[in-house]
Structure 1
């Protein structure tokens, strides 16, 4: 009787295991099929986007902005097509992995992947902010250098570099705010920088223009007395 009871328990356990596996297999096969399709779609879109970036000659524009020299300092190669293509590739891989995870009922994994995918637009916007800041900084650097050199004032290169770094720092801080990295701290830093620049500019103008303002007021006073 005892052995027969053990056999019945073992038979029931194996039957339950088989029913569980048999019920899970269709979902597993469907998830694998969806993920394989996702890999194919991601690879195709990767190549399409990479070719499109090369066709638009984005690298040539970035070289004119001076991006390549900064990448070389970090031992990196300028290849925007490959970079954007890989972003597209992994976005669609994660999207199809999310679908496969939902099919299998792995809702914790699905929630994590969904959070990652929702963060991708912020990353793209941050990249656009940095590129825009780089374009503006490069333009202002050349403008400041040309203006200072035409006025025959020393230190044109230094002033141009200061202008470039100020714009890039603001661009970097704005990109970090877009990414949600220590927003309160960055807002405080930006406010402090603006206040510091305003105070420094006021002091520089006040101290540097004190003598000129005195002469200007004296000239106005002399003209008033002369008219009398």
Structure 2
């Protein structure tokens, strides 16, 4: 019994001696990742602001969503997650963690990066098309641009959700609810003899969309 306890304590001591240096390396990696991520995030934002990316895509100096900020956040978190993955690698902490924990961590990190890129690209493409349509000056071009932006974001989010383990049916259901609600409102308006009211409302929405 004494021998068994002694063997357990010896094994625990050896494990601790082996583990602590790796833990220290992991902590150092995380600190370096935090510093590098913040610095690179600021650099990316500064560069994109200087080349006026937001203005060239949206043609406004104060866009509703700053692309410079989005790419800064993606860069920052991409570096954070890369260093987290390095800290969880087999050479450092991975050998002390169950294999499925390490695999899940790597899979989750990759999914977050992929989903972020998809949504960002969808927004950039949609915003660019909306801007170009508005510049054309054609009737209802502003309204068409906003509709295209909405559906581009819808498609990109629908593609990104499954990568995060969430069902894309949620987005599809929300879209169907929105379309159904709008359709029902117009059906009731026209069905109850409110054609003039519905027409007035539609003109107001179109006028707002042109602004």
| TM tier, smaller | 0.5 to 0.7
Distance 1:60 1:169 in 2: 24
Conservation of the 8 A alpha-carbon contact between 1:51 and 1:81: no
- The 1-side partners of 2:98 and 2:21 are apart by 15
Residues in 2 aligned to 1:126 and 1:77: alpha-carbon distance in whole angstroms:
12
Cα distance in 1, alignment partners of residues 71 and 22 from structure 2: 33
Counterpart contact for 2:40–2:76, Cα < 8 Å: no
Q: Could you tell me which residue of structure 2 aligns to residue 174 of structure 1?
A: 155
Q: Which runs of 5+ in 2 are unaligned?
A: 180-211
* 1:176–1:52 CA distance, 2 compared to 1 (3 A): closer
Taking structure 2 as the reference length, what is the TM-score of the superposition?
Answer: 0.62
The answer on 1:162 being equivalent to 2:125 is no
Q: State the match for 2:125 in structure 1.
A: 132
The reply to whether residue 70 of structure 1 matches residue 51 of structure 2 is no
Q: 1:35 Cα shift? A: 4.1
The change in CA–CA distance for 1:12 and 1:70 in structure 2 (over 3 A counts) is: same
What CA RMSD, in Å, does the superposition of the two structures yield over aligned residues?
A: 3.6
**Aligned pairs (5 A) from 1:38-187:** 38-41=30-33, 43-44=35-36, 46-57=38-49, 60-64=52-56, 65=58, 66=60, 68-71=62-65, 79-80=69-70, 82-99=72-89, 100-119=92-111, 120-143=113-136, 146-148=137-139, 159-179=140-160, 180=162, 181-184=166-169
Bigger radius of gyration, 1 or 2?
1
Q: How many pairs are equivalent?
A: 171
1:78 Cα deviation after fit:
6.5
Counterparts of 1:29 and 1:70 in 2: how far apart (Å)? 47
Contact 1:59–1:79 under 8 Å retained in 2: no
Q: List per-residue Cα deviations over 1:131-161 (Å, max 9, x = no partner).
A: 1111111211232xx223xxxxxxxxxx244
Q: How many Å apart are 1:79 and its aligned residue?
A: 3.3
Aligned mates of 2:44, 2:64 — CA distance in 1: 24
Find the counterpart in structure 1 of residue 202 from structure 2: none
- Offset of 1:33 from its aligned partner? 0.9
* Residues 1:29 and 1:67: Cα distance change in structure 2 (over 3 Å): farther
**Deviation string for 1:54-75 (max 9, x for gaps)?**
224377221451484424xxxx
Task: Say whether the 8 Å CA contact 1:42–1:92 is kept in structure 2.
Answer: no
Tell me the alpha carbon deviations over residues 12-49 of structure 1, each in whole angstroms, 9 at most, x when there is no partner: 31441232231343134224314413531553254235
The two structures have a TM-score, normalised by structure 1, of: 0.59
Q: Determine helix, strand or coil for the equivalent of 2:143.
A: helix
1:199 equivalent in structure 2: none
